[in-house]
Amino acid sequence: MGQSLKRTLDPGLLSGALSAAAVIFGAILLREPLQTSLAADSVEEQFERLILLHATLPRITMAILCGAGLALSGTILQQVLRNPLVAPDTVAVNAGARLALALAAVLAPGLLGFGRDLVAIAGAAVSTLLVLAIAGSRRYSPLSMILAGLVVSLYCGAASTVLVLLKDRYLVGLFIWGSGSLSQQSWEPAIQLALRLLACGLPLAMLMRPLSVMDAGEEAARAVGVPVERVRIFAVGLAVLMAAFVTSAVGVIGFIGLAAPALATLCGAERFVARCFWSTIFGALLLVVTDLAVQVTGGDGGAFIPTGAVTAVIGSPLLLVFLSRLRSREPQLLAVDASMPVRTPHPARNAPVWAFLAAGALLCLCFLPLIGRAPDGSWFILPANMFGEIMPWRLPRTLGAAGAGGLLAIGGYILQRVTQNPMASPEIIGVSAGAIMGAAIVLALGGAASEISLGLAAAAGSFAALVFVLNIAFRGPAAPERMLLAGVALTALVDAAVGVFSASGSPSAVLLLAWMAGSAGGVDMTMAASACAAALIFLCVALLGSRWLAVLPLGTPVAAGVGVRVPLALSSLFALVAVMTAIATPVIGPLTFVGLMAPHMVRLLGVRSAPAGLVASALTGAALMTIADSLARTIAFPLQLPTGVLASLISGPVLLLLIAKGRKQ
């Protein structure tokens, strides 16, 4: 993995520079307390010493331990999965732990008193297993791994959001934990963490040799008798355990596990042992410097700046650095995957499929809006004479959801088709992240006076993100992969920023969460009608590009060979997806997964050709969102749930089933 990353830094120089920074910040922070506490006589001075001894020093120690633990965890993961993009963040260790803690806080608060770390570790283990299971079908290729990680993270995030909206008053602490604060009040947590990490040392020492042999590649390792599969399982388990220990001790510290190994590689540490050594040192130094800087600059402004979010904001753009360095020589990243074959159409199967799809969509659209709950909670089917009373409230949200669902599903179909990646969806190309950022800025400035200003800000954010992502995607070859990665980096960055905003505890942050959850309640008839019209118009536009969709999956040379101007085709299609996402997001929120799920269902139904796939996806997407919206309206009555997040909660398990089924085929 190191070949494509040229040695550009000197490890000694880098660690020296980081240490110097740590010493400078440390001196600023510690000078005064040290002076007073050394000459301690009065109560005040003894008190300074107390803080120095039991808060400041444990915090520095904690930063060293956490940085080292995360860096080592990231290095092991990268080695064993042969993938420079994996880290505790990108394989959803953190997201799973966060969801587990939120669930425990709401359902069984006693469990937290019993042991926060056990809950966090259980969550981390489950989410990581999920990511591995999804990516395993594609041999843990870098891109599929990171996309699976992002999808699982987003899913856990959606579930956490629902909990926060339903029970926000229990969960203030969740935001702080999610943004990683290193604040300490005693040595105990640091000692506990040190012991746990040390306990990981023995199995790590045993794995060191087989892992080192894998430097030369899996085949070579097998040839000298290394049981690669077993080593991989143990090593991943160990890495996840280390990251989960850190996470449960201080919360989510973003992207140290990605940045430190990256720096080690950039410093030319080619051998695994050297990478482990340098990355551990860099990880510890990076976190100490960041944390000291946060303490020195943070001060007493009344604002709470969690260190973990700061590292994530600094660290997530690193994915972009990798982008510029990953040349097309990186074979795994570019391989057209055989697990998503472009099969020939089955004309015989198509007729019943169409009948089924059309009937299903029609049934959903016409019948589901009629089902509702009366104020006393009883279910009833809306009689015709009450249309005038109820439909003005119900119709806009249903139509809006259907239109947005159609748009996102078309977008998802195009993305999955062009990138040949089953995890590609409008959520992860960064456009949704841009929309969130736009909405967040408006809300943080306190200007969310209307649905329209929020929608406009979201649309502006979407387009800014689109320009950014396309700009990166077309700076070199391999556009689809680069675009997905740019989207992932942007999503991580925005996630960190939202984390800081939420940790501030401002009620506006709850407003942002509610908007992100995809509330359909605010949709009016104009918005709904525009979404539906846009779905129809862009379906037609997409159909015009169906030749591109048919040819591009065959690979760039083939496509160019039959006369397709590949860059033009790709940028047009991506721009189309981004525009559709930007229109759908203000209506239904930035997270639904319908664009991920609908194309899978369409494929399983046996629809193969591009034009048919587009139409079928649009129908499926609209139907799925109508179902989600009807459920959101009724299941928790009198509470209404946010439609977007409910759709993604339903989509998750269904998606897993679809992927499992797709693997069997």
Partner 1 sequence: MHKRGMNLTRRAVLQGMSLPALAACAPAPAGLSRGGVAALDWALAETMIALGEPPAGVVAAADWRRFVVEPALPDGVTDLGLQQELNFELIAALRPRLILISPFLERFKPKLDRIAPSVNLSVYEHADTPLANRIRITRKLASHIDAEHAADAYISALDALRDEAEARLSRLKRRPVLLVSFIDNRHARVYGGSSLYADTLAWLGLQNGWRKPVGYFGFATVGLEDLATAADVELIAVEPVPPDISRALSSSPLWTELPFVKAGREGRIPPVFMFGALPSAQRFAKLLLAYLETKWDRA
Identified binder of partner 1 from the candidate list 303, 366, 604, 660, rule CB under 8 A: 303
For position 454 contacting partner 1 by CB under 8 A, the verdict is yes
For position 274 contacting partner 1 by CB under 8 A, the verdict is no
Lay out the site mask for partner 1 across 24-63 (x = CB under 8 A, - = otherwise): -------------------xx--x--xx-xxx--------
For position 638 contacting partner 1 by CB under 8 A, the verdict is yes
Identified binder of partner 1 from the candidate list 24, 441, 448, 560, rule CB under 8 A: 448
| Helix pair 507-516, 142-167: axis angle to 10 deg | 120
Q: Which of residues 409-438 bind partner 1 (CB under 8 A)?
A: none
For position 301 contacting partner 1 by CB under 8 A, the verdict is yes
| Span near partner 1 by CB under 8 A; candidates 26-34, 118-126, 563-571, 638-646 | 638-646
Identified binder of partner 1 from the candidate list 451, 554, 555, 654, rule CB under 8 A: 451
Least separation in angstroms between residue 43's CB and partner 1 is 5
Identified binder of partner 1 from the candidate list 63, 231, 319, 514, rule CB under 8 A: 514
For position 388 contacting partner 1 by CB under 8 A, the verdict is no
φ and ψ of 382, to 5 deg = -65, 120
- CA distance linking residue 38 with residue 132, whole number of Å: 53
Instruction: DSSP for 361-381, please give it.
Output: HHHHHHHGGGEEE-TTS-EEE
Of 54 and 327, the one with the shorter C-beta distance to partner 1 is 54
- CA distance linking residue 134 with residue 137, whole number of Å: 6
- CA distance linking residue 236 with residue 257, whole number of Å: 14
- CA distance linking residue 516 with residue 533, whole number of Å: 23
Distance of CA 552 to the CA centre of its chain: 27
Least separation in angstroms between residue 370's CB and partner 1 is 13
Residue from 152, 148, 147, 128 nearest 247 by CA: 128
Q: What angle do CA 622, 164, 596 make, to 5 degrees?
A: 30
What does the H/E/C string look like for 402-425? HHHHHHHHHHHHHHHHHHCCCCCC
Are 291 and 61 in contact by the 8 Å Cβ rule? The answer is: no
> Amino acid letter at 562?
V
> Amino acid letter at 301?
G
Lay out the site mask for partner 1 across 618-637 (x = CB under 8 A, - = otherwise): ---------------x---x
Residue from 588, 474, 448 nearest 532 by CA: 588
Are 14 and 263 in contact by the 8 Å Cβ rule? The answer is: yes
Identified binder of partner 1 from the candidate list 17, 28, 34, 112, rule CB under 8 A: 112
For position 211 contacting partner 1 by CB under 8 A, the verdict is no
Number of residues in contact with partner 1, rule: CB under 8 A?
A: 74
Of 122 and 510, the one with the shorter C-beta distance to partner 1 is 510
φ and ψ of 381, to 5 deg = -100, 130
β-pair partners for 371: 381
- CA distance linking residue 401 with residue 647, whole number of Å: 10
Least separation in angstroms between residue 545's CB and partner 1 is 36
Identified binder of partner 1 from the candidate list 116, 232, 275, 608, rule CB under 8 A: 116
Of 148 and 516, the one with the shorter C-beta distance to partner 1 is 516
Provide the 3-class DSSP secondary structure of residue 303.
Answer: coil
Identified binder of partner 1 from the candidate list 72, 165, 326, 423, rule CB under 8 A: 165
Of 335 and 441, the one with the shorter C-beta distance to partner 1 is 441
Of 493 and 509, the one with the shorter C-beta distance to partner 1 is 509
Is there a cis peptide before residue 638, judged by omega within 30 degrees of 0? yes
Q: Which of residues 515-544 bind partner 1 (CB under 8 A)?
A: 517, 519, 521-522, 524
Are 419 and 480 in contact by the 8 Å Cβ rule? The answer is: yes
Lay out the site mask for partner 1 across 184-203 (x = CB under 8 A, - = otherwise): xxx-x---------------
For position 379 contacting partner 1 by CB under 8 A, the verdict is no
DSSP state of 521: T
| Span near partner 1 by CB under 8 A; candidates 72-80, 181-189, 322-330, 533-541 | 181-189
For position 180 contacting partner 1 by CB under 8 A, the verdict is no
| Span near partner 1 by CB under 8 A; candidates 125-133, 513-521, 542-550, 554-562 | 513-521
| Span near partner 1 by CB under 8 A; candidates 66-74, 284-292, 388-396, 484-492 | 388-396
> Amino acid letter at 486?
A
